[in-house]
Amino acid sequence: MEEFAKLLEALVYTSSRNRKLTLIARYLRETPDPDRGWAMAALTGEIDFPAVKANTFRNLMKERVDPVLWSLSRDFVGDTAETASLLWPDNPAVETNAPSLAEVVDTLSALTRKSAPAELPKLLNRLEENERFALIKFATGGMRIGVSARLAKTAFSQAFDVPVEEVEEYWHALDAPYAELFAWAADGGDPPDVMGRPMFRPFMLAHPLEDVAIDKGVDLAEYAAEWKWDGIRVQLVRVAGETRLYSRSGDDISATFPELLDVLSIDAVVDGELMVRGDVQGGETGSDKQGGAASFNALQQRLGRKTVSKKMLAEAPAFVRLYDVLLLEGADLREQTWEQRRAALEAFMPRLPDSHFDLSNLVEARDFAHLAEIREGTREDAIEGLMLKRRDAPYIAGRKVGLWYKWKRDPLLIDCVLMYAQRGSGKRSSFYSDYTFGCWDGDPDSGAELLPVGKAYSGFTDAELKKLDKLVRQTTLNRFGPVREVERTLVFEVAFDSVHTSKRHKSGLAMRFPRIHRIRWDKPVHEADRIESLRSLIRD
Amino acid sequence: MSAPFSWIRPEPWGIHIVPADCWVDPGRAVDKALVTHGHADHARGGHGETYATPETLAIMALRYRTGAADDAGEIPHKAMPVEYGETVRLSGGVDATYIPAGHVLGSAQVLLEHAGERVIITGDYKRRADPTCKPFEVTPCDIFITEATFGLPVFTHPPIEDEMAKLLQALTDHPDQCVLVGAYALGKAQRVIAELRAAGHTQPIYLHGAMEKMCRLYEEHGVNLGELRLVADAEKNDMRGHIIIAPPSAMNTTWSRRLPDPITAMASGWMRVRQRARQRGVELPLVISDHADWNELTRTIEEVDPTETWITHGREEALLRWCELGQRKARALALVGREDEDE
């Protein structure tokens, strides 16, 4: 625990990626099993102790600290684990002797919701401040210390000089504390045996296509164009009769979409877009085989659920629109070109039930101008833009330059007025960085009011953030905890992907992925848009 | 007879002592000002009569040197020195006594007495030992007007010896680099140097040019800072293995490029919060503050035990809540222009 706490502390104060890699790699080489495996599980977000949640610690603190003082502290610090670790009373009567991570895992795993409030204080009392911080982060997951799962795996590969792609592949087939993985990488043992396990293969990803790239001669003839569907990217894996569904980050989401688990009757690994049925998206590109998909809004109702009701299965059934095939009946196709894999996928389609699968169609275009015209011609909700895939490229995990491009359609824009600002968390905990904005419910010159329509916390530079923070502090009308209501003085040009009816806002509207496009320091607020302009953009 | 304490009136830009027509730490130029200490958010130039300790007046003279073309219209004030423990009689029957506040060299609490009522305005203060200034003195009063810069229970400043040990350890661990310590030019910088000397560090310490005059002023007032050198006069390689002190505002500027592989440290009470340190790109946070931490604030209120506590600036909500929980009468004053330490 001591060494892990020191590692976290060092990582917090290191911004250089290379320094972070060095720190983690050194820790992994110097720390014995199974502690280093548990540390990796924590850094990659694969730890879950059902009886211990952020709320467990919050409740512990509220028994020891006045709730108002707790909230004020938490708002300022921006992180529950850190606030709790700072506020937990140092007990000079108790000799601090930090347990090993393995011991912590044993203790935490044995906890129940009932026993946790009595047992956790005993653990915390044995620790110093930075160890308490590490313990709470470890116990609740979600480290938020600027280390991604990918970075941790890269550090692992550097520590033991093994290829990161192999680490990624084995990773998802193994469980913490990854004894087989360390035996292979650190101690020169046999590679983990993962064949015959329905494991996740890292996705091939795309770079955004900038206009520059078009000018600089990306040759359309070498690429196939395909719609970029607006669902969630998934990988469906079937090995030896067992089927699993993985999300983009490699999370197992099989339980959320049970209808997809018994429809693949052949051992295969396929890559596609998961969507739900609906009539918003009727027969795109003129093919009557391209069935209808509902908007992302409909899909969202089904995400993140651990169990699914029969009603939900009937009303919003999921299907997968296939992009690619990675493995098929024991053969690994990833070394083959996109064209070969596409042919294999097309040949494979008739063996799949129409009810749960269809094929993502290709888009034919003469040149970029034509393609741009097609891209702009569509405003359907189920399309996010276009993909360009190099015809002779193999399926390579990660983002490799020049192979795949995504070309999102231009966002919708609307002028809104800043109404409320909230302090951010993490790095932004001292900045008012989350902005709620509104549109007029009528003519602002004849007494119309602003109604909130959305909230955004991205799309501006650090310098702009400073300026916005200053404005918020100077024009505050009211304070509600971490939220400030401000004078209506500033117009944001807000970009968003789509807008839907919603009961959450008083305006009855909710935007999808709103972000600040431009800050209109120059624009008078009465020239901002009206609710009805936004409503006219609904496609539900 | 007027209502109790109606003679003292908090306004957004300062505290007005009505019968004397005099202001404490006013944010705009006034005819008569009582200044608690030399930091720019409390001491500004351009007043008429300025009452302050001789040390504070010396600091102000250094900062608001007048007569130059680029002085932005600063008018020379009339210096009215008040020694610690000395009482001056202002007009309207108001007496002002200056009492050490332990914040920086020359810093004072101002005790105001009128019609049998006693009010203390602390300015900024701390309760820990500081080799560069006189310690805070607890003085009884009716109304205690306190700062609350670190008025949240998460702020507990560790012993400064621990932080010095961290700093010196970094120097030992990286003999081919230097450690750049961001520290406020008035007070913090000199305190860090004096504490390093107390910890047995006899090596020369390199300074950013903006610190030089203030360090000399401290030495003239009897604070021994050991051998100081200017970064501007040094060769890059000579600074390897040494400590460099610069104001926080200079740390991420092109100035720092002349330093040999600096490890960025910052001496500030905010360093207690990890995300604050990360925001500033700090690699070595040193939790050192010239302000009272949460325990010092609450302990001071208990020791002074006033009938009423007014809170001038900082995290006033939490301190108000603490007062409420202890059934102490308190209110927050919304003073403008008071800055957070190092921001």
- CATH of residue B21's domain is 3.60.15.10
Domain's final residue, options A390, A408, A426: A408
Q: Are residues A439 and A399 both part of a single domain?
A: no
CA of A102 to nearest chain B CA: how many angstroms apart?
26
Q: Are residues A227 and A367 both part of a single domain?
A: yes
Specify the CATH number for the domain of residue A82: 1.10.3260.10
Q: Are residues B35 and B54 both part of a single domain?
A: yes
Residue entry with tokens 């019968």: B19
Using CB atoms, pick whichever of A83, A426, A427 lies closest to residue B154: A83
Q: Are residues B75 and B206 both part of a single domain?
A: no
Give residue B245's pLDDT: 98
Q: Are residues A298 and A349 both part of a single domain?
A: yes
| Per-window interface: A 55-74 vs B, CB < 8 A | 65-66, 68-69, 72-73
B153 inside 8 A of chain A by CB: yes
Chain B residue nearest residue A71, CA to CA: B318
Q: Are residues B280 and B309 both part of a single domain?
A: no
Q: Are strands A242-246 and B22-24 parallel, antiparallel or unpaired?
A: unpaired
Q: Are residues B40 and B78 both part of a single domain?
A: yes
Direct distance between the N- and C-terminal alpha carbons of chain A, in angstroms, rounded to an integer: 52
For A250-296, what is each residue's pLDDT tens digit?
778 898 999 999 999 999 999 999 999 876 544 443 344 455 677 67
Q: Are residues B130 and B265 both part of a single domain?
A: no
Domain count, chain A: 3
Q: Are residues A416 and A352 both part of a single domain?
A: no
Most A-contacting residue of B275, B294, B295, B327 (CB-CB within 10 A), to test interface: B275
Chain A residue nearest residue B316, CA to CA: A72
Question: Whole-angstrom Cα distance, residue B212 to residue B124?
Answer: 24
Contact list, A13 vs chain B (CB under 8 Å)? 274, 277-278, 282-285
Domain count, chain B: 2
CA of B152 to nearest chain A CA: how many angstroms apart?
6
Q: Are residues A400 and A420 both part of a single domain?
A: no
**Domain hosting residue B59, numbered range:** 8-153+291-332
Alpha carbons within 13 A on the beta-carbon side of B148: 30
For A420-460, what is each residue's pLDDT tens digit?
999 876 667 678 999 999 999 998 888 899 999 999 999 89
Biggest CA-to-CA distance, chain A: 78
Specify the CATH number for the domain of residue A347: 3.30.470.30
Contact list, B271 vs chain A (CB under 8 Å)? none
Q: Are residues A13 and A129 both part of a single domain?
A: yes
B154 and A87 within 8 Å at the Cβ level: the answer is yes
Give residue A30's pLDDT: 96
The encoded tokens of residue B290 equal: 């010239």
Using CB atoms, pick whichever of B153, B285, B315 lies closest to residue A13: B285
pLDDT in tens, chain A (540 residues): 999 999 999 999 987 888 899 999 999 999 999 999 999 999 988 888 999 998 999 999 989 999 999 999 998 998 899 999 999 987 776 666 889 999 999 999 999 999 999 999 999 999 999 999 999 999 998 787 878 888 999 999 999 999 988 888 888 788 899 999 999 999 999 998 877 788 888 899 998 887 656 666 778 889 999 999 888 999 999 998 889 999 987 778 898 999 999 999 999 999 999 999 876 544 443 344 455 677 676 787 788 787 888 888 888 899 999 999 999 998 999 999 999 999 999 999 999 999 999 999 999 988 888 988 888 777 566 788 899 999 999 999 888 888 999 988 788 899 999 999 998 766 676 789 999 999 999 988 888 999 999 999 998 988 899 999 999 988 888 887 678 999 999 999 999 988 888 877 788 898 888 999 999 998 889 989 999 999 988 875
Residue B2 lies in a domain: no
Question: Whole-angstrom Cα distance, residue A488 to residue A420?
Answer: 9
B321 and A427 within 8 Å at the Cβ level: the answer is no
Chain B residue nearest residue A74, CA to CA: B154
B275 and A86 within 8 Å at the Cβ level: the answer is no
Q: Are residues A273 and A340 both part of a single domain?
A: yes
Chain A residue nearest residue B151, CA to CA: A73
**Domain hosting residue A526, numbered range:** 412-535
Residue A371 lies in a domain: yes
A76 and B321 within 8 Å at the Cβ level: the answer is no
Question: Whole-angstrom Cα distance, residue A404 to residue A408?
Answer: 13
Residue A167 lies in a domain: no
Q: Are residues B260 and B278 both part of a single domain?
A: yes
| Per-window interface: A 5-34 vs B, CB < 8 A | 12-15
Question: Whole-angstrom Cα distance, residue A450 to residue B297?
Answer: 43
Q: Are residues B295 and B237 both part of a single domain?
A: no
CA of A80 to nearest chain B CA: how many angstroms apart?
12
B272 inside 8 A of chain A by CB: yes
A14 and B153 within 8 Å at the Cβ level: the answer is no
Chain A residue nearest residue B337, CA to CA: A474
Residue A332 lies in a domain: yes
A86 and B154 within 8 Å at the Cβ level: the answer is yes
Cα dihedral sign for A366, A369, A375, A377? negative
Q: Are B126 and B291 in contact (CB under 8 A)?
A: yes
Give backbone dihedrals phi and psi of A485, rounded to 5 degrees, phi first: -90, 135
B152 and A72 within 8 Å at the Cβ level: the answer is yes
Residue A121 lies in a domain: yes
B152 inside 8 A of chain A by CB: yes
Residue A188 lies in a domain: no
Beta strands in A185-282 (DSSP E): 204-205, 207-208, 223-229, 232-239, 242-246, 268-276
CA of A421 to nearest chain B CA: how many angstroms apart?
19
Q: Are residues B38 and B120 both part of a single domain?
A: yes
Contact list, A73 vs chain B (CB under 8 Å)? 152-154, 318
A50 inside 8 A of chain B by CB: no
A13 and B152 within 8 Å at the Cβ level: the answer is no
Task: Count other Cβ atoms within 10 Å, centred on residue B220.
Answer: 10
CA of A462 to nearest chain B CA: how many angstroms apart?
11
A300 inside 8 A of chain B by CB: no
pLDDT in tens, chain B (343 residues): 468 889 999 988 899 999 999 999 999 999 999 999 999 989 988 889 999 999 999 999 888 764 444 444 455 678 999 999 999 999 999 999 999 999 999 999 999 999 999 999 999 999 999 999 999 999 999 999 999 999 999 999 999 999 999 999 999 999 999 999 999 999 999 999 999 999 999 999 999 999 999 999 999 999 999 999 999 999 999 999 999 999 998 886 778 879 999 999 999 999 999 988 887 778 999 999 999 999 999 999 999 999 999 998 778 899 999 999 999 999 998 776 665 554 4
Domain's final residue, options A408, A435, A450: A408
Using CB atoms, pick whichever of A66, A79, A133 lies closest to residue B321: A66
> Cβ-count burial of A13 within 10 angstroms (0-12 exposed, 13-18 middle, 19+ buried)?
buried
A427 and B279 within 8 Å at the Cβ level: the answer is yes
Q: Are residues A378 and A449 both part of a single domain?
A: no
Residue B3 lies in a domain: no
- Cis upstream peptide for A177 (omega within 30°): yes
Residue B340 lies in a domain: no
Q: What share of chain A is helix, strand, coil (3-state, %, to 5)?
A: 35, 25, 40
A13 and B282 within 8 Å at the Cβ level: the answer is yes
B339 inside 8 A of chain A by CB: no
Q: Are residues A430 and A366 both part of a single domain?
A: no
Contact list, A79 vs chain B (CB under 8 Å)? 274-275
Question: Whole-angstrom Cα distance, residue B119 to residue B140?
Answer: 9
Contact list, B318 vs chain A (CB under 8 Å)? 68-69, 72-73
Using CB atoms, pick whichever of B272, B282, B321 lies closest to residue A69: B321
B139 inside 8 A of chain A by CB: no
A521 inside 8 A of chain B by CB: no
Residue B310 lies in a domain: yes
CA of A85 to nearest chain B CA: how many angstroms apart?
9
Q: Are residues B197 and B121 both part of a single domain?
A: no
CA of B196 to nearest chain A CA: how many angstroms apart?
23
Instruction: Please count the residue pairs, one from chain A and one from chain B, whose beta carbons lie less than 8 angstroms apart.
Output: 65
Using CB atoms, pick whichever of B279, B283, B321 lies closest to residue A14: B283
Most A-contacting residue of B149, B154, B286 (CB-CB within 10 A), to test interface: B154
Chain B residue nearest residue A424, CA to CA: B275
* Axis crossing angle, helix A116-125 with helix A101-110, rounded to the nearest 10: 160
Q: Are strands A412-423 and A491-496 parallel, antiparallel or unpaired?
A: antiparallel
C-alpha distances in Å from residue A474, one per residue of A265, A467, A484, B182, B198: 63, 11, 11, 28, 43
Most B-contacting residue of A6, A20, A23, A68 (CB-CB within 10 A), to test interface: A68
Q: Are residues A9 and A84 both part of a single domain?
A: yes
Domain's final residue, options A122, A140, A158: A140
